[in-house]
Structure 1
C-alpha cells in the first residue's frame, strides 16, 4: 500500500505493502493514509511463512523529526526488480567499474557497508538525515552483502554525493542546478537527480546543457514520488508537470512501474516520460547499518536507469552521453513508456556511423552509337539475305516430286 503522511511533525513517507524474506526485529507498521489504498504489491518470496514488512523509506522529514536511523530488518532474498531487469545476465557483461555516478539528492551516507570505499561527497552531502539519497545510491551501486540477496545495478561504480535538498529533504532549484553543474565539473559520467521540480526551467535547462557539454548523462524522474498537500490543487489534485530537470533537453525522463507491470494507484501523474523502470516496492539500504528499507516512486526508477547507464558506459567507454541515451531507448522493451532492459542495452549492436545520403548522378545524354558494330551487322544481314535468295532459286530449278528415270534415245 502506498501511504502519504503529511504534516510538519511526521513529514512525508512512502510505504508499500510488500513481503520479503527478512531477518531482524518485529515488523514495523505502515502509517495510516488519508487516501484510498492501492492493491498490495508482492515480491518473490512472499509465500515464506517468516516473511514480514520492511520499514518504509521517508521522502521528507517534518521539522523536529529525528533523522532516519538504521533498519532492523534485512532482506535475505532478491528483490523482484532484480529478476525483472535480468541483472544476473547483465552483470556478467558489466558491473560498472571505472564509472562515477553522481547522486544529487539528500546526501549519501559513506558508512553503509554495501557502499564502503566507493562514496565521495561535496557540499556537505556525506551525511544523509532523510535516507533517500543513500537508498537511491544503493539501487545504483550497492554491492551484495553476506546474508542478503539485494544488489545494486552497477555494484562496482563509484558514487559522488552532492546536495539537492536541505537536511529535511526539501529540494530547491538552486541546490539541484548547482549539484548538476558540480557533478559534471568533477567528471561524473552519469548524474542522477532524485527530485522532480515544478519550477526552475531556465536554471535547470542551463545546468543540464552544461552537463551535456561535458559528456555527462542526466537522469531524472518524470514525476514526484509524493505531493505534499500544500502543493496540490483546490480539489486536492496533484500537478501534472512539466517537471525539471527531467523535461530539459538532454535529460532522460523516467517513470516507474511495479511488480504487476503498472504504476501504483494514486501515483502522481508523470509528464512525458521517455523510459520506464521498476520503481514500486523497491528494496535498498538505509543511511546506517546493513538493514533495508522499502520505497516507491519515479525517483527510484530513475536510480535504476542511472545504474544501467553506468553499466553501458563501463562496457562501451567510447559512447557519448547522447549515444548512451539512444542505446537505452533503442534497446528498451516496447510499451507506452519503453521499459528498461539492461542486458539488451549492453549487447545491442548499433551502427554508430550514419549512412550517407546517396548522391544522384548528373543527367547525361546517351553516347553516340559506334558505327563499326552497325556496319558489321548490316554486312552480316546482307550475306544472310543473299544466302536465302540463292537457296530459294535452287529450290525453284529442282523439280518437285519423284525424278524420272533417264533412258537413252531410240534409233530411228
Structure 2
C-alpha cells in the first residue's frame, strides 16, 4: 500500500503540538501557530506573497490566525490576514488529497458557492472565480478556497479541486445571513450558470409560505446539479438542525476534527425532537483557508466547512467521470466513505468519513481497527464558540434552516443503507 494511501487509511490526522494559546493582545478567537519545528508561522517578509508573514520555519513568537466566521455582528468587514502558513495542512493527509489529485484536479467541473460572495484578491483564487466581488463577511471566500484554491509557492493551503471553476453566488446580507428565497434564487442562478455542484454555505432564518425552494430544487434536479450543504448550523445555544427533515436524495454533511472524531459530542435534534442524521462527514474543525483582501490565511470550522470539502471531492469525481450523474456521484461519495465505527458514531457521521481516493477509484477502503493515524503537518486552533445565534435572532428568525438537497435524476440513491 503506498505511503500516501496509508495516511488515508488512518481516517484523519491527529493534532500535534502545532498550536499554542493566543498571544496577549491578539485578535479575539484567533488561532496560533506553534513556533517549534517543521516550519512555523512567523511575522516578517517570508516566502508568502501578499500582506503578511509566512511559515518560514524561523523561531519567534506565535502568530495568530484570524477566524473567518459564518456570520458576523455586522458593521465592519473582515480585515485581511497578515499570516501565510507554508506547512502542509492536516486535511491534506487526512483525506489523501495529494493522491486524489493524481487522478484529476477537477478541471472542467464548476462549483457554485452560495454565501457571502467570493473575493479573488488572493493569488490562490486569481482566475478561478466567476462573479468574484466584495466579501465583507469573508466566509464565502474561505469556502471557495477549501474547494478550489490554487497551489502557491510558500503556502501550505491548496483546495480540494484546484483546477475547478468557482461560481460566486452572493445570497446573504452584510452579516452573512440569507433568506430562504435568496437561497432558492441562488440555486436557480447557479444551475443556470452551469454548476455541476452547488455548495450552500449560509444560515437561513425559518420562513413560511412559498419561498421558491421546491422550484429551485426541481431546476437543480433537471440540470443534474449536485447540491451539498451542512447538516447543522451553529448558534450560541449549540447546533441547530439545518434540515427540516431527511428525504430521498438529500446529502447533508457533518464535521469531524483532526482526530477523526465527530465535532459534536451528541446528535442534534430537529423541531420534532428526532435526531438529525447526516449523510456523510468530512473535516470541519481547525480547517485553514484563504480569505478576502490578500494572501493571508484564516481558520474556520463547522458543518459548512465540512460541506466544502465534500463539494470539492464531488468536483474531482465529476471531473474524473463526466458521465456520472449527480445522484450517482452522491451515491459514490457515501458508499465509499470510511464506515462510522458503531451506531453511536453513525448517528453523528452518517455513512462515514469522506474518502476522495476511494470515491475516484470506486473501491471502498477498509480500515484496520486500531490503525495509528499520522501526525499532521499543521493544524490551527479551532475557532472560538460561535456567536451566530444572537445575530440571527436580530435578523428576525427564531429557528434556523439550511434548505438543501443533493439532487440528481428521479432515482433515489439505492445505496443509502448505512454500513455498520
**TM-score normalised according to structure 2 size:** 0.67
Q: Distance in 2 between matches of 1:287 and 1:262?
A: 30
SS at match of 1:59: coil
Structure 1 residues 139 and 267, CA, compared in 2 at 3 Å: closer, same or farther? Answer: farther
The answer on whether the counterparts of 1:60 and 1:170 sit within 8 Å (CA) in structure 2 is yes
Q: Distance in 2 between matches of 1:298 and 1:118?
A: 24
CA deviation map 1:91-141 (0-9, x unaligned): 0001000111000000001222101112112xxx62100100000000000
Partner of 1:106: 116
Q: Distance in 1 between matches of 2:202 and 2:246?
A: 12
Structure 1 residues 183 and 217, CA, compared in 2 at 3 Å: closer, same or farther? Answer: same
Partner of 1:207: 216
Partner of 1:259: 258
Q: Does 1:94 align with 2:93?
A: no
Partner of 2:202: 195
Partner of 1:378: none
Structure 1 residues 78 and 118, CA, compared in 2 at 3 Å: closer, same or farther? Answer: same
Partner of 1:85: 95
Partner of 1:55: 66
Bigger RCO of structures 1 and 2 (CA < 8 A, at least 6 apart): 2
Partner of 2:362: 348
The answer on whether the counterparts of 2:179 and 2:205 sit within 8 Å (CA) in structure 1 is no
SS at match of 1:161: strand
Q: Does 1:21 align with 2:40?
A: yes
Structure 1 residues 299 and 17, CA, compared in 2 at 3 Å: closer, same or farther? Answer: farther
1:13-412 to 2 correspondences below 5 Å? 19=34, 21-24=40-43, 52-64=63-75, 66-121=76-131, 126-197=133-204, 199-200=206-207, 203=211, 204-224=213-233, 226-228=234-236, 237-238=237-238, 240-243=240-243, 247=246, 249-264=248-263, 269=268, 271-335=276-340, 336=346, 337=349, 338-348=352-362
Structure 1 residues 328 and 266, CA, compared in 2 at 3 Å: closer, same or farther? Answer: closer
Structure 1 residues 179 and 145, CA, compared in 2 at 3 Å: closer, same or farther? Answer: same
CA deviation map 1:210-238 (0-9, x unaligned): 211110000000011x215xxxxxxxx44
CA RMSD of aligned residues (A): 3.1
Q: Distance in 1 between matches of 2:266 and 2:116?
A: 21
Q: Distance in 2 between matches of 1:242 and 1:128?
A: 23
The answer on whether the counterparts of 2:253 and 2:307 sit within 8 Å (CA) in structure 1 is yes
Shift of 1:322: 0.1
Q: Distance in 2 between matches of 1:106 and 1:131?
A: 7
SS at match of 2:232: coil
SS at match of 2:333: helix
Task: Point out where structure 1 has 5 or more consecutive residues left out of the alignment.
Answer: 2-12, 26-44, 229-236, 355-412
Q: Distance in 2 between matches of 1:295 and 1:268?
A: 21
Count of equivalent residues:
310
Q: Distance in 1 between matches of 2:61 and 2:266?
A: 30
Shift of 1:282: 0.3
Shift of 1:196: 4.4
Instruction: Find the structure with the greater CA-based Rg.
Output: 1
CA deviation map 1:341-370 (0-9, x unaligned): 0000001169xxx9xxxxxxxxxxxxxxxx
Task: Point out where structure 2 has 5 or more consecutive residues left out of the alignment.
Answer: 1-18, 20-27, 45-55, 270-275, 341-345, 365-410, 412-420
Q: Distance in 1 between matches of 2:207 and 2:328?
A: 27
